[in-house]
Amino acid sequence: MHDARDEEDRRLLEAGSHAALLRSYYETIILRCRVRCRREEDALECAQAVVVRVLSELKRGKRYPVPFRVVVHKVIEWTTKGFYERGPVTLVELEGDILGDGTPFDDAETRYDLERALDELAPGDGEVARLRFLEGLEIDEIAARLTKERNAVDQSLHRSRKRLRELLA
């Protein structure tokens, strides 16, 4: 049974079909997260964190010495173990732009793409955009945290939105 699964996983990895590969494991991921997390919304957040981690490793070209199914189960274990220590992963939509279609898998891929795009921004704009779009902070909260004027944060977010739309198009 595992041999056929491992062969299909190898085929998808070699083809670069990361979406199909992770989609084939999503039911396993969500079920294991539901067992480990007490609340349904925590399980969904945790499952998203698992998918984000695995997808980011795959997109960076990481190769594994063990079957992919083992990798998935280890990442689930590590993520659920540390889930409450670092808090749930959330994705705040770019205001006015729809990122993905709202499924946990698309949110994970979108978060990965957004994180890579944020790396392309100027350092100050990137920091402001991360606080807004990944942590969900309001403009006043960002200004207070970074000890900047509200207007400076507004301008930074304006530049960031414009550049992110270009990068994510």
Average pLDDT (142-150) is 91
Domain spanning 104-168, CATH class: mainly alpha
Quick: pLDDT tens for 47-67.
988 998 898 888 888 888 889
Domain 2-86, CATH? 1.10.1740
Residue 96, pLDDT score: 45
Please say if the pLDDT value at position 88 is more than 50.
no
- Burial category of 34 from C-beta neighbours within 10 Å (exposed 0-12, middle 13-18, buried 19 and up): middle
Listed by start position, the domains of the chain span 2-86, 104-168
Beta strands in 2-143 (DSSP E): none
Tokens coding 100: 């993905």
> 0.75 cut: is pTM over it?
no
